[in-house]
Amino acid sequence: MEKFKLGWFSTGRDEAARELLKVVLKDIDNKVIPNCNISFVFCSREEGESEESDKFIKLVRERGIPLACFSSVKFMPELREKGLEQEKKGNTRLIEDWRFFYDREVMKRLYNYEHDLVVLAGYMLVTGREMCIKNKMINLHPAKPEGPKGSWQEVIRQLILERATETGVMMHLVTPDLDEGPPVAFCVFKIKNGILVDEWKEIENLMIKDPQFIQREVKAVENTSLFKKIRKKGLKREFPLISYTIKVFAEGKVKIKAGQVVNPREEVLTAGYDLTDMIDKTVGRSSK
């Protein structure tokens, strides 16, 4: 049986980027992810740009994985800087142009590497329209399907504001519309109703004193016990979710067809593949 071929995109900016790759490689080695290999790693930094990304590049080379590096910072820097400045003002044309040219150069470098799926794992760039359309790419989002959008900080603040009873983590298909791709796989966990009781009381007391506390005191919210514990619960599930998502792809339980996530009978999985039970067993009941 032909092996499932995985592509890996990362900026390699921190220890988490290395640990995530190590976890997936370990699961491949131990057959947790069966019949799979990483056919290439792409890094958007080159050697010498930072100590952290140099460690990431060294790790990839030590494992003998084909590696392609192409610096995003060094590529058309004037257009990139102007594009980022204009993007803050609501004008995305220049940065979209830069992404188009950068992605074209990336795809040239990866042309000879076969892959069935690409995982964005600590990849700090937005992928352009052409890149998304030509590759089956998945990315992590720190919420359950139909949950809040935005960064993990924005997601948790919204959960607290809504007094949400549960949240989750999901892998979604990367599409031209940022963070709008259909869910591929997910897990959920409780954060209220018998869970984090004291932490919710702290928030409620703060909101009695200041009803606009969550919207106005962003840093203070992030320093609360509730915010930190919701983040901790999500983090515990992120690594196993990525590994198990790759696992169900490699096993043929999930595939992508015509921009949709389907099962082996080619029935559309609107909410994605539910990995909650599997991940609960991995992180342990005490962390639920």
> pLDDT by residue (tens digit) across 124-179?
999 999 999 999 999 999 999 999 998 899 999 999 999 999 999 999 999 888 77
Mean pLDDT, residues 45-52: 96
* Residue, of 288 and 127, whose pLDDT is higher: 127
Mean pLDDT, residues 73-102: 96
* pLDDT confidence of residue 286: 43
Q: What's the pTM value of the predicted model, to 2 decimals? A: 0.91
Q: Where are the domains of the chain?
A: 1-135, 140-288
Give the tens place of pLDDT for each residue, 207-223.
999 999 888 888 999 99
How far apart are alpha carbons 174 and 262 in whole angstroms? 15
Band of pLDDT at residue 237, cut at 50, 70 and 90 = very high
Pick the CATH number of 1-135 from 3.20.20.240, 2.60.40.650, 3.60.15.10, 3.40.50.170: 3.40.50.170
| Residue 7: strand pairing partners | 40, 118
* pLDDT confidence of residue 170: 96
Residue with tokens 């039970």: 277
